[in-house]
Amino acid sequence: MRLQPIFDIAEICAQKGVKEAILCPGSRCAPLTLAFTRHDKIQTRTISDERSAAFIALGIALATSNPVVLICTSGSAAYNFAPAIAEAYFQNIPLIVITADRPKEWIDQLDGQTIRQANLYGSHVVGYFELPQDFENMDSQWYINRIVNEAINLSKGTTAGPVHINVPLREPLYPNASEQISFSKDVRIISEEKTSNTIAHDRLTELRKSFESLPKVVLVVGQSRPNSGLAEKLQHFSKANHVPIVTDIVSNQHCIDDVIAHSDLILAHRKQDLKKALQPDLLITMGKSVVSKNLKLYLREYAPKQHWHIQESGEVADTFKSLTQIIRSSPLEFLEQFGAIVSKSQFESQKRENFSRLWQAEEHRVQRSINEYFSKTELSEFHLVREVLTRLPANAPVHLANSMAVRYAIFIGLDSRQNGIKIFCNRGTSGIDGCTSTTIGHSLSTDELTFLITGDMAFFYDRNAFWHNYKLSNLRIVVLNNHGGAIFKMIDGPGNVPEAEEYFVTNQKLTVRSLAQEFDFDYLKLDSLKKVKNLLKDFMEPDGRTKILEIETSSESAQKTIEEFKEHIRKSHEA
């Protein structure tokens, strides 16, 4: 059959462990669509909006840690994948993006649904591949097999991420009525094993000597996937070496005892002498980005003498402007190899311990202030986020939309006893465009109740996330509807210009009720303090229904609440 090499792409994917594919409607991609839908080892879903589809695929890959295939027709459809592909690239999430294309001779000839698809996603994929458009000869068939194998291996390699396979296809695109789609069971599979980045003995000795000479050490964990093994190693490293572990909620290290989870509040408006006392000699970092602007500004101003970054492969960012050592190892392997460093003298040991206790004292002080602030219950979106976070069921996956939702959660944090809670957030590009779709992808991959805490702008921007035919019985969404982008009232600059309300805050009058009715979701509205307990009990009930809980406020009240909170923290510290 002429299209057999294209049909066999699905077989290669299946044999290499791919289990899920998201397909977008179209005709040029028909051979790919038919191949994947008729393969009994791959679960397929169809999503009409390509932008939403790509984020749903990202959410599935995030939940399963396995590559997901994403397919669309030719033309502008492929461009709509771009935001999710960029997010996947910066979070190292494996996606296999397959775009159908027109034959090369029809590019730039005003043919329908024809654009320049070669290298469409630029440097935001870990690999770009184009299949031959004529594949009747044996060399072309060998080449297609090799390219698909290579692309899949690359997507889940040490530096995982999205790969793009562009597939020019000639008509006819559909098999004849008499033709049966089947798969070649003897397709060649090229396997690739990950190498272990063990630190050489001499290199490890040098690092330990440097560590011994620098008594004030801070370890910062940026955004990381949930990993209980890493958390255990970090806690052991911290206690054995008197190293404060600085995290925020997206680091997924909230189960560590004495973790420094509120550095953003610790470093806000603090006096210079305290900031100087907290300054590390050695900064060790691992993971992706940190959300806290205060932490970034602090470490740039109070730079360490040395900065080690632990990363297995890929490009390394110099976020704090102080990078001196790139250590090519996984964080887990580094901690296992490095072990405990015994100080040469009692004085040095005491100095390390005093430095660690200073950080912990500031964390405890801020935590007490946070508890005092929330001791008075109010009807605000900030208080609702806290109520939701404290009542989450064990092991729940929780997605945080960008802008204020993730910041509220960072100010509040999680209790160390909530060690099974898994936090996700699209902080690769930090956009609001696919937060809901990503959560829906995750919810489709698990039976656990899956939560999203989101603002109104992110929620309504991504409403096509619900435009499909799949049940979302385990999905729970909290919408903080302050009728605009309240964050623009809180950050320096936009709030002080006369155009703020129309062009930055972008006031909108929508509520969630109509959307919930349109898609037959349960709608709960929090408009009274008396309702909080019962509403949240109903919201958390696993009864097979999609539920959306909305609180309506205003951007002014949201701004006032955060200003009062920060003022309370400041006064408590100065008292």
Q: Write out pLDDT tens, residues 206-254.
A: 999 999 999 999 999 999 999 989 999 999 999 999 999 999 999 999 9
Q: Picking from 157-166, 261-270, 544-553, which range would have the lowest pLDDT averaged per residue?
A: 261-270
285, 189 Cβ separation under 8 angstroms: no
Would you state the pLDDT for residue 575?
66
Task: Please name the residues in contact with 90: beta carbons below 8 A apart, sequence gap of 6 or more.
Answer: 288, 428, 429
- pLDDT (mean) for 93-98: 98
Mean pLDDT of 177-187: 88
Domain with CATH 3.40.50.970 in the chain: 4-168, 374-574
Taking a C-beta distance cutoff of 8 angstroms, is the pair 432, 92 a contact? no
| Bridge partners for 282 per DSSP | 217, 306
- Between CA 544 and CA 540 the distance in angstroms is 11
Distance CA 547, CA 532 (A): 15
CA 487 remoteness from chain centre: 20
The larger pLDDT score, comparing residue 503 to residue 424, is at 424
Q: For 542, what's the count of Cα atoms within 13 Å in the CB-facing half-sphere?
A: 9
Buried-state track 403-442, b at ≥16 Cβ within 10 A, e below 16: bbbbbbbbbbbbeeebbebbbbbbbbbebbbbbbbbbbbb
Question: What pLDDT score was predicted for residue 460?
Answer: 96
Residue-by-residue DSSP string for 200-256: PHHHHHHHHHHHHT---EEEEE-S----HHHHHHHHHHHHHHT--EE--GGG--TTS
Which one, of 544, 525, 543, lies nearest residue 535 by Cα? 525
Residue 111 pLDDT class (50, 70, 90 cuts): confident
d(CA 439, CA 446): 11
Query: Which pLDDT score is estimated for 495?
Result: 66
Measured between alpha carbons, how far is residue 444 from residues 126, 273, 403, 568 in Å? 26, 51, 25, 41
pLDDT digits (tens, 9 = 90+) for 312-367: 999 999 999 999 999 999 999 999 998 877 666 677 789 999 999 999 999 999 99
pLDDT computed for residue 343 by the predictor? 61
Per-residue pLDDT tens over the stretch 388-411: 999 999 999 999 999 999 999 999
Q: What pLDDT was estimated at residue 283?
A: 98
CA-atom Rg of the chain in angstroms: 26
Does pLDDT of 169 surpass 90? yes
Of 15, 32, 49, nearest to 165 by C-alpha is 32
Among 1.10.10.10, 2.60.120.10, 3.20.20.70, 3.40.50.970, name the CATH number for the domain at 374-574: 3.40.50.970
Buried b (16+ CB within 10 A) or exposed e, 197-218: bebeeeebeebeebbeebbbbb
pLDDT at 345: 67
Per-residue pLDDT of 467-514, as tens digits, reads 999 999 999 999 999 988 877 767 777 767 877 777 787 888 999 999
pLDDT band for 370, please (50, 70, 90 cuts): very high
Residue 251 token pair: 């680091």
User: Which pLDDT belongs to residue 198?
Assistant: 87
Averaged pLDDT, 184-200: 87
Q: Which fold has domain 4-168?
A: Rossmann fold (3.40.50)
Question: How far is the C-alpha of 73 from the C-alpha of 325, rounded, in Å?
Answer: 45
| CA dist., res. 92 & res. 402, Å (int) | 19
Report whether CATH 1.10.3470.10 matches the domain 201-371.
no
Q: Which of 167-176, 183-192, 300-309 has the highest mean pLDDT?
A: 300-309
Average confidence (pLDDT) over 372-392: 94
Q: How far apart are CA 495 and CA 486, in angstroms?
A: 10
More confident residue, 489 or 19: 19
In the 8-state DSSP scheme, what is residue 464?
G
Q: Considering the chain, tell me which residue range(s) the CATH 3.40.50.1220 domain(s) occupy.
A: 201-371
Provide the mean pLDDT of the chain. 93
SS (H, E, C) 326-395: EECCCHHHHHHHHCCCCCCCHHHHHHHHHHHHHHHHHHHHHHHHHHHHCCCCCCCHHHHHHHHHHCCCCC
Q: How many helices (H) and strands (E) does the chain have?
A: 21, 17
pLDDT confidence of residue 342 = 64
Q: pLDDT-derived band of residue 85, with 50, 70 and 90 as boundaries?
A: very high
Q: How far is CA 327 from CA 198, 201, 279, 300, 339, in A?
A: 10, 13, 22, 21, 15
Which helix (H) or strand (E) segment holds residue 455: the answer is: strand 450-455
Q: How many other C-beta atoms are found inside a 10 Å radius of the C-beta of residue 170?
A: 13
pLDDT (mean) for 21-49 = 97
